[in-house]
Amino acid sequence: MVVHADAKKVFKVIGLRKITFILLFLSNHCFSQFDIDNSFSNNMVLQRGRPIVIFGTGMPGKKITLQYADFYRSSTVVKSDSAWSFKMPAQKYSSVPFNIVLSDDIQNSTIKNVLIGDVWLCAGQSNMEFTFSGDKYFDAGKSLQSNPAVRILNPQYVGKDFYGRPFSDSMKARLNKGNYYEGTWQVLDSRTSANMSAIGYYFANMIHAETAVPIGVINIAVGGSPIESWISKASMSAAGSFEHKLTDNWMENEALPVWIRQRAIENIGKTNQPHAFKPGYIYDHGILPLMQHPIKGILWYQGESNAQELDRVNEYIELMKLLVADYRNGWKHPQLPFYFVQLSSIDSIQYKSQLWPLFRANQLLAHHQIKYTGMVVSADIGDRNNVHPRDKRTVAERLSRWALHDIYRKNTIVSGPMPKKAYFKNNELVIPFKYAEGLRTADQKQVRGFSLDGRDSTEAYIHNNEIRCKTTILPKFVYYAYTPFSEANLVNIEGLPATPFMLKVTSK
C-alpha cells in the first residue's frame, strides 16, 4: 500500500496498524458506495395501487438491502452495468409517514418522511405555472397552507421569470447538459405553498379534503412553452405530418409558432443550442425522467403559444392526440386521466387573441376525440386585458370535479353544458346539451353569446334544458361564446358555464 507523505506524520501518534485500517475502510467505502436515483427524495409521495420501484447505481456485485417501513425487507445485487433496483408490491394509501432505508455492508441511505397516495402532474405553460401567491384568493386560502398530507415537487427551471434577455453561460451550460429542472419534494406549508402552482395547490387540497388520500403534486409547467416541446420527437417524426417541425435550424422553421421562436432568439441567439421551446426538449428532460414513476393523472393548461397563427390553431387537435398517446405509452397506462383547461377570455385590443374562439372550439373537439379526458371552461373568469387571469381556484375546482367523479367515484357533475348537436326544425335552431340540468343564465338575464355567423349575435332562449334560436334559414354553423373575450352567460344547475363552441347544423 502506498501512503501519502503527509500521513506518515500521523503514524507516530496512532500507529501504522490503525492508519492502515482507516485507509482501507475509506478505500472500501469509496468503492462500495451506492447512489439512489436523484428522482427520490425526502418528503415524496409514491403512487398507491402500482408496484413501487426504487433504483440507483452502485459497484457491480455488491449486495444492497432495502427496508421499507417495518414490514418489508429485501436484498438485491448490483448488476454488471452498475444498476440496481427493488420492485415492491403495490400499496394502499397511507397518511402515516415512513422511511425507506437502503444499506450495504458499509453505508446506510434513508429516504425520509414518505407517504403513499396519488401523484398528479401539472404541465403546460404560464397559467399552470401561475403561483398561489398571485392568486385572487391567496389571502382567503391561507388556512390551507399547511397540510402534511400534501407534498409538492416544484423544481426551478432554466430561464424561469427571465424574459427578453440573453441567457448567461451557466444557464446555457445547464440547457446543454439537460440539467433543466432542479428541485426536491417538500411538505406543503406556509413557506413552500406561495411559489407552487396555484391550480396544483387548490386541486391537491380539494382532492385530499374529499378523499383523505395523500396527494403529491409535481409541477413542471414552463411559461411560454409550445405544445411541440412537450411531445417526443419520435412521435412527431412517425406522424409524418409533423416531421417538418424537427429541423436543426428550428428558430427559422415557420412550422413552429412565431412568438416562441422570437423568445428563444432573445435567450440564445440564432444558434442550434438547446432551448426549452425546441420541439421535444421538455419531453426529453422533464417528462421522460418522470415516466420511471407511476402517477395518477395529468393536469394540462397550455395553448396560448399555439393560438396566434391559423396553421398552428388548426393542427392543435392532432398534436394533442400525439401528446396524450406519448404519455399513456410512456407510463404504460392506456387510460391515464388527462384533464385540461380550455383557453380563457381576453380582448384582442391589447393581445393577439383573434383566433382564440376557434382554438377553444378545437379544444372541445379534442376532448370528444381523445378518450379519458376532461375539459374545463375558463372563458367566464377571464381578464379582458391580462393573459393570466388571477382566479385559479375556480379552475382547480372544475378540474377536481373530473377527478372526483372519474377516479374517486364521487357523485359530482363534471362540467357545464356541452352541446350534443344542433338541428333545424320548424324555423328554429334547436341545441340539446349534455350536463344541462337546470339550464339557466348566470345573471338571470336574457341568454347571451349565440351567433349564426360567428360575428353577429342572435336571440336565443331556454326551453326544456335546450337552447332555441328563431331563424328562417338553415345556417351552416351555430356559435357560442365565439369572441376573444366572452360575456356569454349560459350555465347549468351547478353554475358551471357552457363551453364555447362552433357546431355544424343539420336538418334534423
Q: Are strands 297-301 and 108-124 parallel, antiparallel or unpaired?
A: parallel
| 423 & 361 share domain | no
- Same-domain check for residues 451 and 360: no
Q: Identify whether the C-beta of residue 46 lies closer than 8 Å to the C-beta of residue 96.
A: no
Task: Please identify, among 406, 430, 458, the residue that sits at the C-terminal boundary of a domain.
Answer: 406
Q: Give the integer Cα–Cα distance in Å for 52 and 462.
A: 52
Burial class (CB in 10 A: 0-12, 13-18, 19+), 14: exposed
Say yes or no: 225 and 272 in one domain: yes
Domain contains 54: no
Residues 156 and 135 in one domain: yes
Length of the chain as a residue count: 508
Segment holding 287, helix H or strand E: none
Query: What 3-state DSSP class applies to 61?
Result: coil
Instruction: With respect to residue 345, please indicate whether it lies within any of the assigned structural domains.
Output: yes
Q: What DSSP assignment string belongs to 217-250?
A: EEE---TT--GGGGS-HHHHHHHSTTGGG--SSG
pLDDT computed for residue 379 by the predictor: 97
Radius of gyration of the chain (CA): 27
* Segment 202-214, tens digit of pLDDT: 999 999 999 999 9
| Per-residue pLDDT tens digits for 71-112 | 789 999 999 999 999 999 999 999 999 999 999 988 899 999
Task: Examine the fold and report which residue of 373, 406, 439 is the final residue of a domain before the chain moves on.
Answer: 406
- Co-location of 388 and 295 in the same domain: yes
Q: Please give the Cα distance from 285 to 157 (Å, whole number).
A: 11
What backbone phi and psi angles, to 5 degrees, belong to 479?
-125, 150
Q: How far apart are CA 136 and CA 378, in angstroms?
A: 15
Give the bridge partners for 186, in sequence order.
Answer: 152
> What CATH number should be reported for the domain holding residue 337?
3.40.50.1110
User: What pLDDT score was predicted for residue 23?
Assistant: 40
Q: Is residue 35 part of a domain?
A: no
What stretches in the chain show pLDDT beneath 50? 1-32
Shared-domain flag, residues 394 and 440: no
Point out the domain boundary residue: 344, 377, 406: 406
* H or E element that contains 20: helix 16-32
Interhelix angle for 310-330 vs 356-369, to 10°? Answer: 30
Give the per-residue pLDDT at 11: 34
**CA-closest candidate to residue 223, choices 344, 387, 340, 382:** 387
Model pLDDT, residue 4: 44
* Residue 139 three-state SS: coil
Let me know if residue 126 belongs to a domain.
yes
Residue 56 included in any domain? no
- The predicted pLDDT at position 71 comes to 76
- Position 69 scores a pLDDT of 80
Is the same domain home to 241 and 337?
yes
Residue 389 has a pLDDT of 97
Q: How buried is residue 379: exposed, middle or buried, by Cβ count under 10 Å (0-12/13-18/19+)?
A: buried
Residue 452 domain-assigned (yes or no): yes
Are 478 and 384 part of one and the same domain? no
Residues 396 and 485 occupy one common structural domain: no
Residue 105 lies in a domain: no
* Residue 47 is assigned to a structural domain of this protein: no
Please give the tally of structural domains in the chain: 2
Within 10 Å of residue 402's Cβ, how many Cβ atoms? 22
Residues 351, 480, single domain; the answer is no
Whether 224 and 363 map to the same domain: the answer is yes
- The residue assigned the cell 379519458 is 372
- The DSSP 8-state label assigned to residue 498 in this structure reads P
Parent domain of 488: 418-504
For the beta carbon of residue 123, count every other beta carbon within 10 angstroms: 27
Tell me the whole-structure pTM to 2 decimals.
Answer: 0.92
Q: Report pLDDT for 33.
A: 79
Q: Are residues 168 and 206 located together in one domain of the fold?
A: yes
What gap in Å lies between CA 331 and CA 88, rounded to an integer? 17
